[in-house]
Structures are given as structure tokens and as C-alpha cells.
Amino acid sequence: MTCEECLSELATGSLREMAADSAVMQHCVTCPDCSRLTTQLRDREYNAANVLNNLPPMSNPITVAETSVLTAQRRRVGQVVVMLTGAALVITIWFTAAKIFFPAMNRGDLNNSSSLRTETIPLQCLSPQQAADIINPYVRSHGSTYYVPSSGISAITVRGNAAEVAKSKDLLLTFESDPAAACRHTVGADLKLLQDEIFAAQKSQGTGSASDKVPTAVKKRTAAKELPEPKKQ
């Protein structure tokens, strides 16, 4: 073994782990320089070991154990405190919602209900069910509705905002004021109209049988409007 190899072994290894018959020890016997270096390294390792053995412990084992127990207790207390804090936060949020948000929502519903109007619209030509069919597509907002009487009263009650009530009244007025509305064609009105047409036809075409002078359209209308005879008991 050369001196360089010996120094390399001493730099990476420990003299305590080297046996007496190792290559390094055999080389130190024949090389005074490596032997002197080996002796110095052995003395330094021995002094370092003595210093470490004479040092007092960094902390008392009992103190370390007590500190560990206190730390564990603090962690458990901290977890309990966190849970209580979270529960208190949830309760606070619930009370805040109960005191502020829910009453505000209720007030909003009250305001909405107070903005609705209720009005009964009398009917002259249309039936209540016909009026309901007309205004149904226009009474659609929250809380809006209409009531059809069941006792035969010619009226309909509308509950809605101002625009819906006004729209319902305008529609019903438009349909009821239409001269061509089906509800205006009663039997008496049709007979009166038929007589007027017959007299007008006689006057324009001269004398003759009234039935011969009646236009075909009038004859058809007469047949359609002719009432059935009551059955004999």
C-alpha cells in the first residue's frame, strides 16, 4: 500500500474500525510519516470521545416527558376550543339570519301582497267562465288569481297588480262591447233582425209572397234559429 492509499483510507474510515492486521496498520509499521499521522488521529478521536461523554445531557428526561404531556393536553384543549368556536359561529349566523334576513323576506312578501289589488268586474254579455278564459293568460304574476262565482252571479273577481287588473278590465270591456259577440245573439234579437230583413226584401222587390222574397241566407238563419217544439206529456 502506498502513502496516498493509506491517507485515503484514513480520511474515509475510523481507526476504531480498523483491525491490527489491516493494510493501513501494516503500512504504518513500515512508514514513519503515516505512523505519526495515525497516532495523531487516534489521540484526537479519543479526546473527542471523552469530551462527548463528559457533556451533561441537553435536557432532563423527566422534563422532556412532562413537556410532552403538557403539549398533548394543550392540543386537546385547542381542539375543544376550536369546536366550541365553530359552534358559537354557527349559532351566531343562525340568530342573525333569524333576526335580519327572515323578517326582511317576510316584509318583502307583505309588500308584494299589499301591492296586489282585488276588483270585481260586472259582466253583461259574457259568462264568468268565458271571462276567465279571456283573462287567464294575463293574470300570471306571483299571488295573482281570479275567482269565478258559483252562484250564477254575472261577475268575475280579479286579484293582481294594477297592470293586470287594468288589462283584464280592458279586455272584458272590448269583448262585451263588440256587436258581433255571440252572447248578444239572443232569440228575440235574431227574430227582430229577421223581420227587418224580410220587410226590406219585400219593399225592394215589390209585392209577392214573403217566403218567396226572403233571401236564401235569411232562410238558412231562420232554420238555424228555429226553436224546437216542446214535447207533449
Using one digit for the tens of pLDDT, what is the confidence trace for 94-133?
878 777 766 666 555 555 555 888 999 998 888 889 889 9
Using one digit for the tens of pLDDT, what is the confidence trace for 162-208?
899 999 999 998 888 876 665 665 656 567 767 777 878 777 776 44
Euclidean distance between CA atoms 160 and 166, whole angstroms: 9
Of 220 and 22, more confident: 22
**DSSP code per residue over 97-109:** IIIIIHHHHHHHH
**Kind plus residue range of the DSSP H or E element containing 178:** none
**CATH annotation of 117-183:** 3.30.1370.120
pTM of the predicted protein model: 0.35
130 SS3 class:
helix
Residue ranges per structural domain of the chain: 3-54, 59-114, 117-183, 185-223
**Kind plus residue range of the DSSP H or E element containing 127:** none
